[in-house]
Structure formats: C-alpha cells, structure tokens
C-alpha cells in the first residue's frame, strides 16, 4: 500500500514538474494582461480630446501664467527632477516653467549648474527665490553631464527620478502625474514618455523615440523587460537617452554604482546619455513606453560642446572601453557591442577616431570576430573594419 502511494505521488510530481512552467507562464500573462488593461483605460482617457499644440514659441517667455500659490518644500517628494545646466541662459525659462506648470506639485527640483559662464546661475537663483522646491548645486569647474547628473541623483529624495536637460522641457502639464500613475499601477522600473523635437519654431509630435536610430536598437535587449502588451509595436524601440523617463530611485542609484567612479567622473563630449541608458537597460526589469508625448528637446546643447577631433576621439574610446569592460560573453552583450560599433562608424566615421589606439582596437576586432554570437554577415563587417584600420595604419607608418 505504501509503495502504491509513493508511485502515485511520484507520477503526480512528474506531471507537476511538466506543468509548472505552463502554469507560471499563464498566471504571469494573466497578471500582465490585467495591468495592461488598466493602463490602457487610463491612457485612452488622457489621450481623448487632447488639444494639439499649435504654437510653442511663447514658452521661452518669462511671463507665462503659472500657479502663483507658494510651492511648499516637502521632505517626501513623489518625483525628483534632476536638471543640468551649462551656458543655457536662453533656454532656462522654457525648461523651468515647464516644470512649474506641472499639475503634480509634490516635486523636488535639483538643478546642477556645471560652471556656466553666462548668466544661467543668476536666472536659477531668481527662480529659487519664488519656488522653494528648487535646490541648486554649483560646480567649480565644468565636469560634464554624467558627473552633474550623478551629483544631483545622490542628493535626490524622490520615490522616482526624471532627468531634464537645461535646454529641453516637458510638453504637457500632466505628463509627470500621468507617468507616475502608470508607474505605480504596474510597479514599473521605467515609464518612458515619447520624445519630440522643437525646430525652427515648429513642434514635431511625430518623433517617436529615436526612429532615426532604429538600426541600433536592439530587439535582444527587450527580452529582459516585461512587455505589458506584446502585440503593440511601440514597445519595440528603446530610447538611447536617459531623459524622457520616470525611473525608480533605487534603480537609478544602482545605475550610478554600476557605471562606477571611473566613468561618472569622466567629462565626455558624446555618449554620456548612451552610457547611462545602456546601464539602465541592464539593471531594470520592467519597462513601459507611453503613447503620450511628454518631452521635447531643442538642439542648442550642441553649441556648448567643444567640437575638436581630439574631444570626439577621447569620448569614443572611453565609451568603447566602458562597453568592453561591462559586457560579458553573452549574446545580448555581443550584439549590443556590434550595434554600437555600427552606430559609431555610421555617425562618426569610426576609423578616423581610433588611429591613435590602433593596437587596442585591432586586438578587440580580432577577439570579437571569433565570437560565436555574431552571424557570418556581422563577422564580415568586423573583418572589413579591421582590414581598413590595418591598411590605414600601414599607410601612416610609411
């Protein structure tokens, strides 16, 4: 009798083991479906009858009507906004008013002035007098965006953090409230709102999260995220910017620790956003892209950058060092490095900037071309780059 019971239990255990993944998957799917349904109802509600933005020119004015009641500082803000500023006096009114016009008032506004040489600091201090939620950090020299953001993040008390550049702005007054509502509804690590561009006094609402860079991103990374609706295409593209996102505070603190002192202290001309964004996607477990546009950027920031070839070379080399150091021999990491190499070669003419680091990059190409996770086509492209680099080096020696 005892032996029969053991046999029955053993058979039941085998059936349970076989069914376990199926049961867990279905329970997980059902939970996701319910969360997405609630979010979809909320999104449909906020998008219904939303007025189109016809003219955004006047946001630069100092005289935009805002809620004049005194903003009370709180020790428990829902969101900490980390804003960086460097020589952007002409844009700061636009950025700060877009924060103050937000319907969600329980905010902490941390602004890091990265040693501006114009009257940016004076403007910031004037705003601080009327809004006691504003905290200003002053750098004694220009340290770059990663360092400026890191200093602001370390001081932040908010449950969630969002990053805003000094020349950018939030579009709608409810975007922080709406993204926070969705984040809490799904207990999500990242809620991203769509990006738009402001050019020539016109506002482009169709700029759908770096569509121009769609060759770069990276379907294999998306498998680490909870996609609440697997059928909707707007989950497909992951933004390379750290801005336009609402991120759990503990997640973004982990990002800073993951990047490490070596890179957070580095002044990079380019790729400061990419380093932070790639780190975010490695650490976060859940992601949601809203249908609502919420963030726009102008391109004035480029005017503040020193555009010598040496600066670009240093930034590219440092970025690639970061990729090699942080990546493991896994499919998604190797594919990520390959895609980044394509992007560098496509946008910045890769070989121009690595001639002074020939041995380092030649050895790297030798190593990566042997990796089993690259396709034949990808290996062919790396071999081509390697040969081009070798030929240029030979000509240089001659």
Boundaries of every domain in the chain: 1-49, 57-304, 327-397
CATH class of 57-304: alpha beta
For residue range 301-323, what is the model confidence (pLDDT) as tens digits?
444 454 566 777 788 888 888 98
User: Which stretch of DSSP H or E encloses residue 84?
Assistant: strand 79-85
pLDDT at site 53: 45
Asked if 238 and 246 count as a contact pair (C-beta separation under 8 A), the reply is no
Phi, psi of 232 (to 5 degrees): -85, 130
For the whole model, what pTM was predicted?
0.81
Residues 250 and 266: their CA atoms lie apart, in Å, by: 23
pLDDT at site 11: 56
For residue range 122-144, what is the model confidence (pLDDT) as tens digits?
999 999 999 999 999 999 999 98
SS3 of the chain: helix, strand, coil, percent, to 5: 55, 15, 30
Asked if 42 and 181 count as a contact pair (C-beta separation under 8 A), the reply is yes
For residue range 318-375, what is the model confidence (pLDDT) as tens digits?
888 898 888 777 777 787 788 778 777 766 777 666 667 778 778 888 888 888 888 8
Flag whether pLDDT at 70 surpasses 80.
Answer: no
Query: What percent of the chain has a predicted confidence (pLDDT) above 90?
Result: 28
pLDDT at site 61: 44
Flag whether pLDDT at 203 surpasses 90.
Answer: no
Q: With helix as H, strand as E and coil as C, how does 246-314 read? A: EEEHHHHHHHHHHHCHHHHCCCCCCCHHHHHHHHHHHHCCEEEEEEEEEEEECCHHHHHCCCCHHHHHH
Pairing type for strands 79-85 and 287-297 reads unpaired
Residues 203 and 172: their CA atoms lie apart, in Å, by: 13
Asked if 343 and 329 count as a contact pair (C-beta separation under 8 A), the reply is no
C-beta neighbour count of 232 within 10 angstroms: 13
Closest to 248 in 3D by CA, of 186, 205, 297, 199: 186
């Amino acid at each position: 009798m005892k032996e029969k019971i053991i046999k029955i239990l053993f058979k039941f255990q085998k059936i349970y083991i076989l069914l376990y993944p199926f049961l867990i998957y279905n329970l997980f799917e059902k939970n996701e479906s319910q969360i997405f349904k609630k979010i979809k109802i909320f999104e449909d509600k906020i998008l219904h009858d939303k007025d189109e933005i016809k003219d955004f020119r006047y946001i630069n004015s100092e005289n935009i009507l805002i809620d004049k009641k005194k903003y009370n500082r709180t020790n428990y803000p829902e969101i900490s906004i980390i804003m960086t500023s460097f020589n952007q006096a002409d844009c700061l009114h636009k950025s700060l008013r877009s924060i103050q016009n937000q319907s969600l008032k329980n905010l902490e506004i941390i602004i890091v002035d990265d040693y501006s040489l114009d009257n940016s600091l004076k403007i910031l201090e004037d705003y601080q007098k009327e809004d006691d939620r504003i905290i200003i950090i002053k750098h004694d020299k220009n340290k770059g965006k990663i360092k400026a953001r890191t200093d602001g993040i370390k001081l932040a008390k908010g449950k969630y953090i969002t990053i805003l550049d000094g020349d950018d702005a939030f579009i709608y007054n409810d975007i922080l409230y709406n993204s926070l509502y969705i984040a809490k509804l799904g207990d999500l690590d990242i809620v991203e709102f769509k990006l738009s561009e402001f050019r020539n006094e016109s506002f482009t609402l169709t700029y759908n999260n770096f569509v121009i860079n769609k060759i770069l991103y990276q379907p294999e990374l998306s498998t680490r995220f909870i996609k609440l609706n697997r059928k909707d295409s707007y989950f497909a593209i992951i933004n390379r910017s750290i801005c336009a996102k609402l991120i759990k505070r503990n997640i973004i603190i982990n990002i800073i620790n993951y990047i490490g002192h070596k890179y957070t202290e580095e002044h990079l001309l380019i790729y400061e956003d990419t380093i932070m964004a790639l780190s975010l996607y490695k650490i976060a477990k859940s992601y949601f892209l809203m249908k609502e546009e919420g963030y726009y950027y102008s391109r004035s920031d480029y005017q503040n950058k020193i555009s010598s070839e040496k600066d670009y070379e240093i930034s590219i080399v440092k970025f690639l060092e970061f990729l090699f150091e942080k990546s493991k021999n896994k499919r998604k990491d190797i594919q990520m490095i390959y895609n980044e190499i394509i992007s560098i070669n496509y946008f910045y003419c890769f070989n121009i900037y690595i001639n002074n680091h020939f041995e380092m990059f030649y050895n790297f190409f030798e190593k990566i071309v042997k990796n089993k996770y690259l396709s034949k086509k990808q290996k062919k492209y790396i071999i081509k780059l390697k040969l081009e680099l070798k030929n240029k080096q030979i000509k240089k020696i001659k």
